[in-house]
């Protein structure tokens, strides 16, 4: 059949396979409510005999009314005892009638540890289905992507086992290690420069080095460059800054750096390596320049766009990405989590500020809690169905998944921007309670407070206390790092804490932060050493005066525990008397599951 004959309302597909994908999107979004109803019925009927649904006396009902009247909305903490039982080896059908195949470790934490999300084998198919829709949409806006390759920096992270023997690992590690990814069919529109062996190497240096080397060899074929998050792509650029001499040496000689010891990588790189002095000269010429502006387009001249998430906390990296890429379009393709993959961006070439994700109604059952930051009590009777959300309003996402999470609060706040057919589209506003984030780490106010409390203990013997503090995610450095501003009160000026003591405070704070933060510091090198900037006495009073001059009420004024607004960070920085960095890595080992 001629591809034109399959023309989708989204636009003319690039090939027949794309036509089918676009048609699927149309079908799902046109009948969003009916799809949702049947997704819920399927989840409830297959899980009717689970301990969880029986506990709420659903009695096999699969309709929305019974579900809504009997099943409560929950948080991770509510489910934790059940999840722990599964982790400990209870194989009875607790949440899902299908066996829990593994746990996906979320970057969201609970009591300092990654949350464990149960999943079932068939979820891999659902994830792959969502992935399969991305290129057909992209091809509508960017023709010719089958004429070259994508340089994507993709990584696996370490995995552990729960006491009951189930694997616990991040969702992308699970996906890259699955046959769905490893033995994927050749698709001319989706060819990567990175070999699977390089992606699957758990050592982040070796993985990055070999992915970069392949990307350099194929620099003219590269049409798009990406990583999952903007921070990851910037880390790759930083890696090039630090390692271009060794990479150029390998290209010149056609040999592989001895630091690359992974035998699978060495095996596959033997097929890629060749001596190319001209390319080596070019890399050296470009990388030795002082100015790295537009380095991406200089080295990869045919790059049409960057594919990275720049929504949510990642928007802080947009100016740096623009600097290195000369303002190439930044494409955010999808919105997903360990709990469930949610949806995709149907207008991927739009500006980052306009990105909206269309939730695919086949992925799970979705409900929306109207977001009211002032309300202390939330009740499930306020939940709104997918098709009934209102444009302009903000909601918290609540999901019911095939793996057995029921009316689970994800913690993301979304705003409705419009509809595609009857499926709503959302801009990602923020994750609840996140104060600081550099990469996938998420630090909330309570965690920061307790880190400051623990670090201040170090100051006791100096008769010094932290009178006020605030924080800032500094992304001007790569990797970015946390900056904590401290105003100190020393009762004994002859004993003011020394540089060494304040460095210990930095480390003490890092030791107190959650495991995702510490993993970022130790395993992924995605977060730089924490910095304490000691400010002059009276600085926080000035900060209050500034806020009041801008209309804050003097009675209600609270010190912001995180500052982003430039005049405020400038004010703080102008009062810094000393700055101190953590000199050691905090403790981190792949989590042991109780």
Does residue 332 interact with ligand AMP by CB under 6 A?
Answer: yes
Q: Which is nearer to ligand AMP, 295 or 332 (CB)?
A: 332
Give least dist CB 433 to ligand AMP, A.
11
Only segment of 40-48, 139-147, 305-313, 538-546 that touches ligand AMP (CB under 6 A): 305-313
Interface residue with ligand AMP, options 118, 148, 195, 312 (CB under 6 A) = 312
Count the residues in the chain: 594
Give least dist CB 340 to ligand AMP, A.
9
Q: Which is nearer to ligand AMP, 171 or 201 (CB)?
A: 171
Residue 353 has φ and ψ, to the nearest 5°, of -70, -15
Does residue 402 interact with ligand AMP by CB under 6 A?
Answer: no
Q: Where are the alpha helices (DSSP H) in 71-202?
A: 76-87, 123-141, 171-176, 179-182, 196-199
Does residue 204 interact with ligand AMP by CB under 6 A?
Answer: no
Q: Which is nearer to ligand AMP, 206 or 338 (CB)?
A: 338
Q: Which is nearer to ligand AMP, 21 or 309 (CB)?
A: 309
Distance of CA 546 to CAs 48, 134, 551, 565, Å? Answer: 58, 47, 9, 12
Number of residues that bind ligand AMP (CB under 6 A): 17
Interface residue with ligand AMP, options 218, 262, 367, 412 (CB under 6 A) = 412
Interface residue with ligand AMP, options 303, 338, 356, 582 (CB under 6 A) = 338
Is residue 365 within 8 Å of 46, Cβ to Cβ?
A: no
Residue 128, classed as helix, strand or coil, is helix
Residues 164-193 binding ligand AMP (CB under 6 A) are 171
Give strand pairing partners of 473.
482
E strand spans, 278-318: 305-309
Give least dist CB 424 to ligand AMP, A.
16
Only segment of 33-41, 103-111, 317-325, 570-578 that touches ligand AMP (CB under 6 A): 103-111
Interface residue with ligand AMP, options 76, 181, 192, 335 (CB under 6 A) = 335
Does residue 363 interact with ligand AMP by CB under 6 A?
Answer: no
Does residue 443 interact with ligand AMP by CB under 6 A?
Answer: no
Is residue 163 within 8 Å of 593, Cβ to Cβ?
A: yes
Q: Which is nearer to ligand AMP, 137 or 535 (CB)?
A: 137
Distance of CA 504 to CAs 492, 514, 534, Å? Answer: 20, 18, 14
Only segment of 63-71, 104-112, 151-159, 465-473 that touches ligand AMP (CB under 6 A): 104-112
CA angle 419, 422, 427 (to 5 degrees): 30
Look up tokens 């997903």; give the residue.
336
Interface residue with ligand AMP, options 62, 174, 337, 475 (CB under 6 A) = 337
Distance of CA 176 to CAs 8, 117, 268, 504, Å? Answer: 31, 18, 17, 38
Residues 11-70 binding ligand AMP (CB under 6 A) are none
Indicate the burial class of 126 (C-beta count within 10 angstroms; 0-12, 13-18, 19 or more).
buried
Give least dist CB 431 to ligand AMP, A.
4
Q: Which is nearer to ligand AMP, 248 or 332 (CB)?
A: 332
Say how many C-beta atoms besides its own lie within 10 A of residue 440's C-beta. 24
Distance of CA 93 to CAs 19, 54, 63, 82, 402, Å? Answer: 39, 11, 21, 11, 13
Does residue 563 interact with ligand AMP by CB under 6 A?
Answer: no
Give least dist CB 508 to ligand AMP, A.
26
Residue 109 has φ and ψ, to the nearest 5°, of -120, 160
Give least dist CB 33 to ligand AMP, A.
24
Does residue 309 interact with ligand AMP by CB under 6 A?
Answer: yes
Give least dist CB 444 to ligand AMP, A.
13
Does residue 228 interact with ligand AMP by CB under 6 A?
Answer: no
Measured CA to CA, the distance from residue 492 to residue 485 in angstroms comes to 21
The token pair at 185 is 């069919």
Measured CA to CA, the distance from residue 177 to residue 375 in angstroms comes to 43
Give least dist CB 97 to ligand AMP, A.
24
Measured CA to CA, the distance from residue 440 to residue 436 in angstroms comes to 10
Residue 579 has φ and ψ, to the nearest 5°, of -130, 145
* N-terminal to C-terminal alpha carbon distance within the chain: 57
Interface residue with ligand AMP, options 336, 363, 413, 534 (CB under 6 A) = 336
Only segment of 27-35, 55-63, 334-342, 447-455 that touches ligand AMP (CB under 6 A): 334-342
Residues 417-436 binding ligand AMP (CB under 6 A) are 428, 431
Does residue 395 interact with ligand AMP by CB under 6 A?
Answer: no
The token pair at 422 is 């009857």
The contact set with ligand AMP (CB under 6 A) reads 106-108, 171, 309, 311-312, 332, 335-338, 410, 412, 428, 431, 440
């Amino acid at each position: 059949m001629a591809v034109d004959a399959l023309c989708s309302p989204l636009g003319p597909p690039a090939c027949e396979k794309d036509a089918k994908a676009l048609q699927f999107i149309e079908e799902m979004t046109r009948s969003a409510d009916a799809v949702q109803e049947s997704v819920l019925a399927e989840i409830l009927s297959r899980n009717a005999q689970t301990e969880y649904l029986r506990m709420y006396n659903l009695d096999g009902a699969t309709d929305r009314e019974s579900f809504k009247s009997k099943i409560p909305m929950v948080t991770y903490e509510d489910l934790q005892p059940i999840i722990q039982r599964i982790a400990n080896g209870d194989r009875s059908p607790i949440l899902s009638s299908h066996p829990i195949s593994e746990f996906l470790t979320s970057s969201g934490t609970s009591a300092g540890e990654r949350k464990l999300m149960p999943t079932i084998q068939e979820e891999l198919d659902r994830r792959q289905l969502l992935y399969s829709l991305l290129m057909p949409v992209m091809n509508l806006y960017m023709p010719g992507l089958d004429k070259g390759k994508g340089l994507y920096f993709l990584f696996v992270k370490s995995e552990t086992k729960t006491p009951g023997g189930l694997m616990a690992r991040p969702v992308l590690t699970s996906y890259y290690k699955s046959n769905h990814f490893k033995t994927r069919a050749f698709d001319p529109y989706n060819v990567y420069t990175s070999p699977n062996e390089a992606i699957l190497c758990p050592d982040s240096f070796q993985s990055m080095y070999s992915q970069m080397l392949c990307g350099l060899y194929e620099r003219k074929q590269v049409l798009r460059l990406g990583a999952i998050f903007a921070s990851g792509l910037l880390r790759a650029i930083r890696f090039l800054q630090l390692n271009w001499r060794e990479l150029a040496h390998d290209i010149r000689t056609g040999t592989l750096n001895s630091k690359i010891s992974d035998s699978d990588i060495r095996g596959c790189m033997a097929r890629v390596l060749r001596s190319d002095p001209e390319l080596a000269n070019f890399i050296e010429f470009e990388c030795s320049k002082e100015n790295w502006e537009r380095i991406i387009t200089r080295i990869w001249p045919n790059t049409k766009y960057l594919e990275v998430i720049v929504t949510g906390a990642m928007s802080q990296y947009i100016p740096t990405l623009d600097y290195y890429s000369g303002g190439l379009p930044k494409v955010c393709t999808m919105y997903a989590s360990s709990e469930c993959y949610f949806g995709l961006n149907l207008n991927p070439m739009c500006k980052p500020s306009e990105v909206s994700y269309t939730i695919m109604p086949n992925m799970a059952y979705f409900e929306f809690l109207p977001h009211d930051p002032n309300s202390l009590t939330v009740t499930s009777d306020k939940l709104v169905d997918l098709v009934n959300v209102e444009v302009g309003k903000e909601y918290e996402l609540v999901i019911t998944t095939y793996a057995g999470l029921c009316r689970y609060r994800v913690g993301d706040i979304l705003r409705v921007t419009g509809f595609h057919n009857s499926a709503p589209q959302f801009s990602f506003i923020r994750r609840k309670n996140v104060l600081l984030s550099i990469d996938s780490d998420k630090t909330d106010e309570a965690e920061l407070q307790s880190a400051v409390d623990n670090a201040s203990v170090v100051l006791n013997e100096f008769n010094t206390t932290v009178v006020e503090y605030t924080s800032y995610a500094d992304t001007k450095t790569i990797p970015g790092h946390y900056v904590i501003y401290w105003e100190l009160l020393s009762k004994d000026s002859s004993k003011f804490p020394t540089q060494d003591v304040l460095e210990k405070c930095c480390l003490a704070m890092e030791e107190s932060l959650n495991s995702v933060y510490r993993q970022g510091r130790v395993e992924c090198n995605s977060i730089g050493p924490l910095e304490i900037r000691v400010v002059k006495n009276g600085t926080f009073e000035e900060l209050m005066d500034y806020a009041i001059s801008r209309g804050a009420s003097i009675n209600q004024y609270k010190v912001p525990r995180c500052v982003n607004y430039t005049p405020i960070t400038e004010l703080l920085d102008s009062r810094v008397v000393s700055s101190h960095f953590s000199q050691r890595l905090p403790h981190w080992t792949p989590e042991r599951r109780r």
